[in-house]
Amino acid sequence: MSAITVIILVLYFVINTFVVKGGTWLPECTPIYVQYFVKFFIIGVTVLVVAVPEGLPLAVTISLAYSVKKMMKDNNLVRHLDACETMGNATAICSDKTGTLTTNRMTVVQTYIVPSKPTDIPGKDV
């Protein structure tokens, strides 16, 4: 959009100065014309600098919503959009018996190997 803004400003200036008013490009007027073109370029950069921070949250939200949709196809329910950023890169997901996601600090407290009986791990309370 900033490039389009610069192009439109330059075209407007050229058409207005040389076609409508019938002016000619004189060597002594070159610094004045260059000042106008630099001014148009600065306006284009200003539009770019102002537009990027405004559009960034929208772009992030759209990409996270797309990630939620992809995860729903894999039967993963995601309630918060920002969780997709973390869960999209996960290779192993730990959960307890209720299905609640944990903080990746699960430890074994009891083992059972067929045909022996359960054995407790020393130092751990069940």
Locate the domains of the chain by residue range: 2-104
Kindly name the residue from 74, 82, 96, 125 that is annotated as catalytic. 96
**Residue 18, both tokens:** 């040389």
pTM of the shown model: 0.45
| pLDDT at site 60 | 78
| CA–CA distances in Å: residue 114 to residues 19, 88, 111, 117, 122 | 93, 36, 10, 8, 20
Report, in this order, helix, strand and coil percent for the chain, each rounded to 5.
55, 5, 40
Chain position carrying tokens 């192993």: 92
Judge whether 96 counts as a catalytic residue.
Answer: yes
- Name the DSSP letter for residue 101: B
pLDDT in tens, 61-115: 887 788 778 777 877 777 777 666 666 566 666 666 666 665 656 677 777 666 6
